[in-house]
Structure 1
Amino acid sequence: MTPTAEGTATLDERITGALVGAAVGDALGGPVEGYSPEQIAERHGGRVRGVVGPWNGDGWATARPIAPYHKGDGHVTDDTLMTHALVRVYAAVRDHLDAYAVATHLVPDLMTTPRWIPELETEALPLQRIFLAEKWLVARLHYGHVDPREAGTGNIVNCGAAMYMAPVGLVNAADPAGAYAEALDVAGAHQSSYGREAAGVFAAAVAAACAPGATPDSVVAACLALAKDGTRDAVEAVCDTASRHTDFESALGPLRRAVAPYDTVGPDYRAPSLGARRPSRLHSIEELPVALGMVVLSGGDFRHAVLGSVNYGRDCDSIATMAGAVAGALGSAVPHDWAKTVAESSRLDLEAPARVLGEVTREIFGRDVERRRRHEAAHAVLTGTPCSG
């Protein structure tokens, strides 16, 4: 992606920045996922500053609980695989999506078409890589024949749906409310409660970041205007804390303390509490508020926001995915060396999905304009007033 001054980036540049940025954040966070900031610093002799190798070095292939996944060395994880799969759904439908599009297009994509899986270093069905919370889509929609709008009910409540909602925000660029509504519909097939809410708010954040002149503060304001219940409270608390910091090093502890009252997982990420991931109007996923907090404290700078997310630990690949998408959508340049390493190591053209989504976004906007004009014309007839079009 060609570096562009923030606030002046075009739609295509923002789409590319968001999708490439999400993938780069995902790849940087993958090898340190599940660990604390202190463990990460001890393992790497300080903070992570770029692409790093597997946590267990050459023993990654057998080391538990990571094996058999080669997490590190620039490999993207399921966050990116699911994001690219959703782009393919948009390419097939070429219009706004809903839960039925997930059942009709996303589930068959996961089940039937082998693709290169970087962490497995082989071609495989995406279904064989994605986590159990995502396999739920196949179990409920393909085998259970559940109404797609309700299929997310009963799944663990986590960031599984939110992590791949950046394309929804981009299709609704500069329309946070539209992105929020569409993501809630799409995510209904996958998640419920605050997991579904996070999907809507993350899509809204990406859409808000695409608006001309957008800033981290305007993105957070758009999120707070739409978010409900514990998700809203968590975003507000974390971003308020983040606004008092300008460097992630000093913010790692305060951000965790700010989100802790809303997080159900508990202090030990690998040993969740008994109340973890259950529906609640009082709680929130951890990943989205922290990602937005990193964007705020970094002033929207991609490198700073992503490195802060990575070094935060816990579910840091998803945190960095979200922070990278928002910072990229704001127009902050993704470091070329990082993007090149991730693309080559993962054997993926990171910009190809952006080109596809850019074309589809324009088509959808054209349809939206036509639909709006028909509505205006009908309203003019009904009210006896001139049609502005």
Structure 2
Amino acid sequence: MTTTLETLSLDDRITGSLVGAAVGDALGGPVEGYSPEQITERHGGRVHGIVGPWHGENWRTARPIAPYHKGDGHITDDTLMTHALVRVYAAVRDHLDAYAVADHLVPDLVTNPRWIPELEAEALPLQRIFLAEKWLVARIHYGHNDPREAGVGNIVNCGAAMYMAPVGLVNAANPAAAYAEALDVAGAHQSSYGREAAGVFAAAVAAACLPGATPTTVVDTTLSLAKDGTRAAIEEVAEVAARHTDFESALAPLRAAVAPFDTVGPDYRAPSLAARRPSRLHSIEELPIALAMLVVGGGDYRRTVLGAVNYGRDCDSIATMAGAMAGALRGEADIPQDWAKTVAEASRLDLHAPASDLATVTRDIFTRDRERRRAHESAFASLTGAR
């Protein structure tokens, strides 16, 4: 039987999403923090694939990137955290909550050395993750805070959202359940619109797994669930994206559309005084732009991810999210094989192993959900006298 987008299997979508997220992350890493104009000047045009470090051989010492080797197919903390969350699912083999983060994710970050591509060394993940992720360790491991409240006080950014694809995949084709679970998981890490973005991104990935899904249906699903500034930002940006089929013409209009909701400001490396503070009016920039690039690219993996990469600013996270959604929508076959091969080899990662593990766990969880649902139906029937 010929495989179509409607008949893509669960395994196809999970593999496409996790491999797609990692590849997007690696493509975006070397140009993270720069503007589209700076990217064009540095690379003599738009980025069309894997490129080397921004500062070439001086990556170990050149600020503000040092000491990280971003580029040459190296994944960043987005993928490190995504794979860490997959390992939590593999350990728990059920739906997760903030306590699972405290019991499994945080210990993994502080006790298990792993190969860190950007450091070109084996190290604890804690030594690589950003300060917003170190917050998990500070609040839970050292501070002994209630996991459900540990995210309060952290900077509000995309830190929790960037690794929530596994939550969407475990709840494949059930966006509302993905949204609720991700909000619970992210409570250990973020608050306000950072936590909201985690729930909405997980829902988007789950929606992309629905048979017959399109970029438009994914966006519509997010709008049905998102709240406050996150919903408003997605709505504004999606309206602009619908007018473009090429990322080049969309770059400036998309930035203009999201700017009123973004607290960071025009200079990504010099955030405004109001940057990353809790608000009901604002949104992270990364998720609305990732959804917009999915629309502009028509769901095509290459076009979607290259749009995210060339947008600049926090483009490794934008491309991670865009790659996860496009990969879930169209499967692994839509991801350029040479990109995936280079990323796997350069990062010394088996990009397929986490997907295989998560696909198995997802089936186990679905079986448990079905048993729980049937038990509830039986109990409710007894309560109502239904026969």
Residues 133-144 of structure 1: matches in 2 within 5 Å?
A: 133-144=132-143
Deviation at 1:8, TM superposition (A): 2.4
Deviation at 1:53, TM superposition (A): 0.1
The answer (yes or no) to whether the contact 1:7–1:330 under 8 Å persists in 2 is no
Q: In the alignment, what sits opposite 1:221?
A: 220
SS in 2 for 1:123: strand
Q: Deviation digits for residues 216-246 of structure 1, max 9, x if unmatched?
A: 0110111000000000000111111000000
Question: Aligned partners of 1:8 and 1:32: how far apart in 2?
Answer: 36
Q: In the alignment, what sits opposite 2:357?
A: 356
The answer (yes or no) to whether the contact 1:7–1:331 under 8 Å persists in 2 is no
Q: In the alignment, what sits opposite 1:330?
A: 329
Q: In the alignment, what sits opposite 1:250?
A: 249
Question: Aligned partners of 1:4 and 1:91: how far apart in 2?
Answer: 28
Q: In the alignment, what sits opposite 2:233?
A: 234
Question: Aligned partners of 1:4 and 1:300: how far apart in 2?
Answer: 17
SS in 1 for 2:122: strand
Deviation at 1:153, TM superposition (A): 0.2
Q: Deviation digits for residues 126-164 of structure 1, max 9, x if unmatched?
A: 000000000000000011110000000000000000000
The answer (yes or no) to whether the contact 1:54–1:60 under 8 Å persists in 2 is yes
Question: Aligned partners of 1:235 and 1:122: how far apart in 2?
Answer: 39
SS in 1 for 2:369: helix
The answer (yes or no) to whether the contact 2:191–2:278 under 8 Å persists in 1 is yes
Q: In the alignment, what sits opposite 1:7?
A: 6
Question: Aligned partners of 2:360 and 2:137: how far apart in 1?
Answer: 29
Q: Deviation digits for residues 155-207 of structure 1, max 9, x if unmatched?
A: 00000000000000000000000000000000000000000000000000000
Deviation at 1:331, TM superposition (A): 1.4
SS in 1 for 2:59: helix
Instruction: Give the length in aligned residue pairs.
Output: 384
Question: Aligned partners of 2:266 and 2:374: how far apart in 1?
Answer: 52
Q: Deviation digits for residues 33-66 of structure 1, max 9, x if unmatched?
A: 0000000000000000000000001111110111
Q: In the alignment, what sits opposite 1:301?
A: 300
Give, as a single letter, the amino acid of the residue that structure 1 aligns with 2:265. G
Give, as a single letter, the amino acid of the residue that structure 1 aligns with 2:274. G
Give, as a single letter, the amino acid of the residue that structure 2 aligns with 1:38. E
Question: Aligned partners of 1:262 and 1:321: how far apart in 2?
Answer: 21
2:27 matches 1:23: no
Question: Aligned partners of 1:294 and 1:168: how far apart in 2?
Answer: 21
Residues 1-389 of structure 1: matches in 2 within 5 Å?
A: 5-332=4-331, 333-386=334-387
The answer (yes or no) to whether the contact 2:5–2:211 under 8 Å persists in 1 is no
Give, as a single letter, the amino acid of the residue that structure 2 aligns with 1:359. T
The answer (yes or no) to whether the contact 1:116–1:347 under 8 Å persists in 2 is yes
Question: Aligned partners of 2:21 and 2:4: how far apart in 1?
Answer: 19
SS in 2 for 1:154: coil
SS in 1 for 2:281: coil
Name the Cα RMSD after superposition.
Answer: 0.8
Ranges in structure 1 where 5+ consecutive residues have no aligned partner: none
Give, as a single letter, the amino acid of the residue that structure 2 aligns with 1:70. H
Question: Aligned partners of 1:163 and 1:97: how far apart in 2?
Answer: 17
Q: TM-score, normalised by structure 2?
A: 0.98
Question: Aligned partners of 1:158 and 1:193: how far apart in 2?
Answer: 9
Deviation at 1:4, TM superposition (A): 5.5
The answer (yes or no) to whether the contact 1:140–1:146 under 8 Å persists in 2 is yes
Indicate the percent of aligned positions where both proteins have the same amino acid.
81
Q: TM-score, normalised by structure 1?
A: 0.98
The answer (yes or no) to whether the contact 1:8–1:331 under 8 Å persists in 2 is no
Give, as a single letter, the amino acid of the residue that structure 2 aligns with 1:96. H
Question: Aligned partners of 2:94 and 2:199: how far apart in 1?
Answer: 18
Residues 292 and 141 of structure 1: is their aligned pair in 2 closer, same or farther, counting only changes over 3 Å? same
SS in 2 for 1:61: coil
Give, as a single letter, the amino acid of the residue that structure 1 aligns with 2:344. A
Deviation >3 Å, runs of 4+: none
Question: Aligned partners of 2:386 and 2:299: how far apart in 1?
Answer: 45
